[in-house]
């Protein structure tokens, strides 16, 4: 028999961890290759983790609600048809990027095997892992164990007891590399002090709502973006009167013929994709010691549910027609609502367009979808009196386009020109100039 490991997959770019929302199998169950094992949620997607093997579930390492780093083991499967020598060889194979062995003079089972997430947290907060009692399988220290210690403020540090190592370096392996490389010539900073949770009195009638794994992941991603990317903000006003008339003249026939809606949003995404092709600097990402200007134009679109926000991607949006973009918007939104969004639907985004106008917003400042360099908020189209070039006042359909940008990557000049080009495309959208096919 051979024991194989199933690990937490990376369900989207910049995703570093996932939460087991529900196990679909139990210990002893027989599974076939590609059978779903568990439902996993991240800040970007809900997905099923399939089995890579045919065999019997040997151990569920994680429990429902546990959050694990990408690459951590979630369960093991016993594979039939191999000899014991293969078992031994398989068990000895360990990818150093997944688990790091740390010297430990006492026999504590799996306690001396630390995941990248555990190592990173311990280094950030100066935690001596040899003094931590793990609650995972075989005494293994989990991410949740460290978070509880940090929240309590009772952090064991090197030298606090006689059993601590003589040198901190012995229990501090090299930091795990981040998804986006960074370069620093500064000396190592002192361990971060834990931030205590605010003490909020709970009165009669107040409702306490537990923070779910996906909400924690969203919070962490938004916090990282705001902390790392210096946000700047700009807005431009667009006269969408011709666009509105053109779309409204087509929408009923289009729905009858194609079976899905021709939305205003599809026109905006197409205009943005065209402008990105002309201003490729906007289609970039910060990578520490360099800026990566992406060749492909893949538009992330924000799709909200009652309790979460997802950003599926329209790949090669500049090569698609307005009809093709409208179809993808409809399909991706349907996948989000039905919980069918796949990890590949979330990957590869280079610029985000958010349809904040769908709930009536007229002005907003979005948080950049890390590690992208900018996000554009398309606000609500509203009728307003406007002074025309001839000095006359007319009622026009107006819309604000609000752009947040990473000032490390982009400056106001190129962003202003980009928005001017998007404005020009939209204001010249009409039956005589624009085809949806």
pLDDT band at 12, cuts 50/70/90?
Answer: low
Instruction: Kindly give the pairing relationship between strand 303-304 and strand 309-310.
Output: antiparallel
Instruction: Say how far apart CA 40 and CA 213 lie, in whole Å.
Output: 10
Supply the pLDDT for residue 193: 53
Domain locations in the chain as residue ranges: 2-152, 229-427
Q: Is there a catalytic annotation at residue 411?
A: yes
The architecture that CATH gives domain 229-427 is 2-Layer Sandwich (3.30)
* C-alpha span between 17 and 283 (Å, rounded): 26
pTM metric for this prediction: 0.63
Fold classified for 2-152: OB fold (Dihydrolipoamide Acetyltransferase, E2P) (2.40.50)
- Banded pLDDT at 54 (limits 50, 70, 90): very high
CB < 8 Å & 24+ apart, contacts of 137-142: 137/59, 137/61, 137/110, 138/109, 138/110, 138/111, 139/108, 139/109, 139/110, 139/111, 140/109, 140/110, 140/111, 140/113, 141/111, 141/114, 142/66, 142/68, 142/115, 142/118
Distance CA 31, CA 36 (A): 9
Q: What pLDDT band is residue 91 in, cutting at 50, 70 and 90?
A: very low
Could you give the strand order of the β-sheet that contains 17-23, starting from the edge strand earlier in sequence?
A: 46-50, 36-41, 17-23, 67-69
Among 11-25, 35-49, 202-216, 305-319, the range with the most confident prediction by mean pLDDT is 305-319
CA 374 – CA 366 distance, rounded (Å): 9
Q: Which of 24-38, 156-170, 297-311, 350-364 has the lowest mean pLDDT?
A: 156-170
Query: Is the model's pLDDT at 190 over the cut of 60?
Result: no
291-318: per-residue pLDDT in tens?
999 999 999 998 888 777 889 999 999 9
* pLDDT tens column, 115-124: 656 776 777 7
Percent of the chain with pLDDT over 70: 79
Return the pLDDT at 137. 60
- Known catalytic residue: 407? yes
**pLDDT greater than 90 at residue 375:** yes
More reliable by pLDDT, 174 or 381? 381
**pLDDT tens sequence across 221-253:** 888 899 999 999 999 999 999 999 999 999 999
pLDDT in the model for residue 111: 41
| pLDDT digits 0-9 by tens, 145-186 | 887 888 777 777 765 543 434 333 333 333 333 333 333 334
């Amino acid at each position: 028999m051979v024991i194989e490991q199933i690990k937490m997959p990376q369900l989207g770019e910049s995703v570093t961890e996932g939460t087991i929302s529900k196990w679909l199998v139990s210990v002893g169950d027989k599974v076939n290759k590609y059978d779903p094992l568990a439902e996993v949620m991240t800040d970007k997607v809900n997905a099923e983790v399939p089995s890579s093997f045919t065999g019997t579930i040997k151990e569920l390492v994680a429990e429902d609600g546990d959050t694990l780093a990408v690459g951590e083991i979630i369960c093991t499967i016993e594979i039939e048809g191999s000899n014991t020598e293969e078992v031994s060889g398989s068990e000895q194979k360990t990818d150093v990027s997944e688990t790091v062995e740390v010297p430990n003079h006492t026999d504590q089972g799996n306690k001396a095997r630390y995941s990248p997430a555990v190592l990173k947290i311990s280094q950030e907060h100066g935690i001596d892992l040899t003094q931590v009692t793990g609650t995972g399988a075989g005494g293994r220290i989990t991410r949740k164990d460290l978070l509880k210690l940090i929240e309590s403020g009772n952090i064991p540090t090197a030298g606090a007891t006689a059993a601590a190592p003589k040198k901190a370096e012995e229990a501090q392996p090299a930091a795990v590399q981040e998804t986006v490389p960074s370069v620093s010539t500064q000396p190592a900073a002192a361990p971060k002090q834990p931030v205590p949770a605010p003490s909020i009195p709970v009165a009669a009638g107040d409702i306490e709502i537990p923070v779910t794994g996906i909400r924690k992941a969203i919070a962490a991603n938004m916090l990282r973006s705001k902390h790392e990317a210096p946000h700047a903000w700009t807005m431009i006003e667009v006269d969408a009167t011709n666009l509105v008339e053109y779309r409204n003249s087509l929408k009923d026939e289009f729905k009858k013929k194609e079976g899905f809606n021709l939305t205003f949003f599809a026109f905006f995404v197409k205009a943005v994709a065209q402008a990105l092709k002309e201003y490729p600097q906007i289609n970039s990402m910060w990578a520490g010691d360099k800026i990566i200007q992406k060749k492909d134009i893949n538009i992330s679109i924000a799709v909200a549910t009652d309790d979460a926000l997802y950003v599926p991607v329209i790949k090669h949006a500049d090569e698609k027609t307005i009809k093709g973009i409208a179809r993808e918007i409809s399909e991706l939104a349907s996948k989000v609502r039905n919980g069918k969004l796949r990890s590949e639907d979330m990957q590869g985004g280079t610029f985000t367009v958010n349809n904040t106008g769908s709930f009536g917003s007229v002005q907003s400042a979005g948080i950049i979808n890390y590690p992208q360099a900018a996000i554009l908020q398309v606000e609500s189209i509203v009728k307003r009196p406007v002074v025309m070039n001839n000095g006359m006042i007319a009622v026009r359909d107006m819309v604000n386009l609000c752009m947040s940008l990473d000032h490390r990557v982009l400056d106001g000049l190129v962003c202003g020109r980009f928005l001017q080009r998007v404005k020009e495309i939209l204001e010249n959208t009409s039956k005589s100039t624009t085809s949806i096919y």
